[in-house]
Amino acid sequence: MLVTEDDENVRVAVEVALRGAGFAVDTAADLPGADEALYVNSYDCAVFDRMLPSGDALRYVHHRRQGGLQVPVLFLTARDSEADRLDGLRFGGDDLLVKPFAMAELVARVRALCRRGPTGRPAVLRCADVELDSARQRVVRAGVLLTLTRKEQLVLERLMTTPGRPVARQELISHAWDEMADPASNVLDVVIAQLRRKLSDPPLIHTVRGIGYLIAG
């Protein structure tokens, strides 16, 4: 998950609490840092301090929602008026916590948002002529049913969640294996090679040097 907070003491405290609860955590101190993290990674939840020196996170999230951002968002804010709370939920937030807050409550709210999953994620993922139905564990290209291993399907699923955008190697490994897997291992490269062979031509999975892979038709 991603935590964006400019106050270093608060950021570290939130990170420690969430890691202690078993979450893998990335942090950012400003909106450009958060934007870069969201570009290369997929998160189960994102926590934003609303008022940052780099801008209002509410406006940023609202703009990103219009562009397809699906990750559940929890806003942290010192603004506790009813209008501010409604704005937070109306313009892209899924939950809101007023400062000061108890870390136990923050962890509980984050856990609930992670269970909810991505906002508005389609039941069937599509890219070019490929369709992936996770519930039925079924992948079809140009009407032809493909036989994929579980790891192959998980890697493909993660790529198809954000078509046209690169996904970091570690993110793909964490999604298909676990977050402790070695990113230097060649297991991902083997699965990518198998996927490319099974998906056949024209090629859909592309290498992004220094980052990972993306899928685009």
Cα–Cα distance, 205 to 127 (Å, whole number): 11
For 166-213, the pLDDT digits (tens) are 988 887 887 777 544 555 568 899 999 999 999 999 999 999 998 899
Q: Which amino acid is at 20?
A: G
Q: What class, spelled out in words, does domain 2-116 have in CATH?
A: alpha beta
For 44-80, the pLDDT digits (tens) are 899 999 999 989 999 899 888 776 778 899 999 888 7
**pLDDT reported for residue 190:** 94
∠ CA 200-210-217, nearest 5°, is: 30
Total Cβ atoms within 10 A of residue 118: 15
Q: What are the extents of the domains in the chain?
A: 2-116, 124-215
> What is the fold of 124-215?
Arc Repressor Mutant, subunit A (1.10.10)
Task: Give the distance from CA 191 to its chain's centroid.
Answer: 21
**pLDDT reported for residue 64:** 83
User: Is the pLDDT score of 119 beyond 60?
Assistant: no
Which whole number is the average pLDDT over 153-159? 90
Cα–Cα distance, 165 to 176 (Å, whole number): 18
For 71-113, the pLDDT digits (tens) are 899 999 888 777 777 777 777 888 889 889 999 999 999 988 8
- The model's pTM is 0.56
Cα–Cα distance, 176 to 174 (Å, whole number): 6
**pLDDT reported for residue 179:** 47
Preceding omega of 72 cis (within 30 degrees of 0)? no
- Selection from 16, 1, 3, 34 nearest residue 103 by Cα: 16
